[in-house]
Amino acid sequence: MTQPGFIVSREDWSLHRKGYQDQLRHEQKVREAIRRNLPDLLTEERIIISDGRQVVKVPIRSMDEYKFRYNLQKMKHVGQGNGRSKVGDVIAADPVSGPGGRGGGAGDAAGEDVYETEIELSTLEDILFGELELPNLERKEKDLFSVTDIRFNDIRKTGAMGNLDKKRTILENLRRNALNRTPRVGGISPDDLRFKTWEEVRRPESNAVVLAIMDTSGSMGAFEKFVARSFYFWMVRFLRSKYEHVDIVFIAHHTEAKEVTEDEFFHRGESGGTICSSAYQLALDIIGERYPPGRYNIYPFHFSDGDNLSSDNDRCVQLLRRLIGHSSLFGYGEINQYNRTSTLMAAYRNIRDPRFRTCLIREKGDVYHALKTFFSAGGNRA
């Protein structure tokens, strides 16, 4: 051909960032949506159950590009088979898991339309923990330093023979001989010896213990337990971001209290009445035995529906005051869906202490408010 009619070129596109810029804006909007939906997201079961997985799919409402479109669910579509298709063949089925599953499924479902996005748990934590802070943070003096490591990082002229640095010793020897115009290795004198010395690396270590106390009496149902579980899930993660090490002690109680495993704590249902003081006494005992307040930041939290044996209330208040004395923060969350006039909350109304906070939880979304109540500088008393 005489005229090629085409040009091939390669340009430097490295400054072309447009896609990334708008991607950033989209991510910003997702973060905004997450922030707006925090109360709902925190009790998203997929997160609470996912424990450990770092990426979770969560529904973000209002991040879709809305337009007038057909209801795909009520439409006929055309597809292509492998040559043997026949009327009645099933080519796909909705996942059995409840509503809000597939993204395309909006329309006739009663649930809200949902744009699913994958969020790194850490993103969610960034946003949430950015809003929380530890009240009454104290340095526990005795634990200020603890030896965690030994590092050889210095060279000296004296030391134990076992720590002799042979390479540097020979280098010194060579240097000394060279100065005497005999550049060779040999005739090592004590002056050539070099020793490795170490340094103890001291890092401040801080410990915290969460005493998770839950009422497991007959009146505490699945909802109440889920709320407590969601709360502890986030609280532990939050405390871990502040402390080196966080212990959790699970205490379940009805008329009597006992220390249980996490699994038992959340899954075993008990029945019968409620005597909360039993749990407080056990908590005090555990602190006395294993968690001296001088070395641990102690965070007891008690979740109950508040339906305590009324004759026990005085004793509760008494023990509670002693517990508060040992604690960085004591939080009492009363899960009260139906607005019963409670006994325990009334009994605690008169306790005025900056390290004691209460929160009333009526619905899932209140887990967020509980976190905000307990972990804020001022602590708005509910």
Partner 1 sequence: MKDRELRRLEEAIAEISDIARHFGLDFFPMRYEICPADIIYTFGAYGMPTRYSHWSFGKSFRLMKMHYDLGLSKIYELVINSDPCYAFLLDGNTLIQNKLIVAHVLAHSDFFKHNVRFRHTNRNMVESMAAAAERIRGYELEYGAEEVERFLDAALSIQEHIDPSVIHPYGLDRLRAEEAKRREEERRRKEKRTVTHEDLWRLDDDWEPEGETKPAGPGSPPPEKDLLWFIIKHSRHLEPWQQDVLGLIREEMYYFWPQLETKIMNEGWASYWHLRIMRELDLSPEETIEFARLNASVLQPSRFGLNPYLLGLKIFEDIEKRYGRDMLFEVREFDMDTSFIRNYLTKELTEELDLYVFEKKGPEWRVSDKAWENVREQLIRSRINGGFPYIVAVDGDYRMAGELYLRHEYEGIELDLKYAEKTLPYVVRLWGKPVHLETVVENKKVLFSHDGTKHTRKFLN
List of residues contacting partner 1 (CB under 8 A): 1, 4-11, 13, 16, 18-29, 64-94, 96, 106-108, 113
* Least distance between partner 1 and beta carbon 130 (Å): 22
Q: What is the DSSP string of 268-282?
A: ----S---THHHHHH
Nearest CB to partner 1, comparing residues 95 and 162: 95
Nearest CB to partner 1, comparing residues 67 and 151: 67
Assign 254 to helix, strand or coil. Answer: coil
* Least distance between partner 1 and beta carbon 53 (Å): 18
How many whole angstroms separate alpha carbon 231 and alpha carbon 128? Answer: 13
* Least distance between partner 1 and beta carbon 29 (Å): 5
Nearest CB to partner 1, comparing residues 7 and 161: 7
How many whole angstroms separate alpha carbon 336 and alpha carbon 346? Answer: 13
How many whole angstroms separate alpha carbon 116 and alpha carbon 254? Answer: 40
Look up residue 98 and give its amino acid. G
* Least distance between partner 1 and beta carbon 212 (Å): 39
Nearest CB to partner 1, comparing residues 85 and 271: 85
Give the distance, in angstroms, between the CA of residue 212 and the centroid of all CA atoms in the same chain: 15
Give the up-direction half-sphere exposure of residue 260: CA atoms within 13 A in the CB hemisphere.
22
- The answer to whether the Cα torsion of 368, 369, 374, 376 is positive or negative is positive
Where do we find the tokens 């709320």?
A: 227
Nearest CB to partner 1, comparing residues 29 and 46: 29
* Least distance between partner 1 and beta carbon 58 (Å): 16
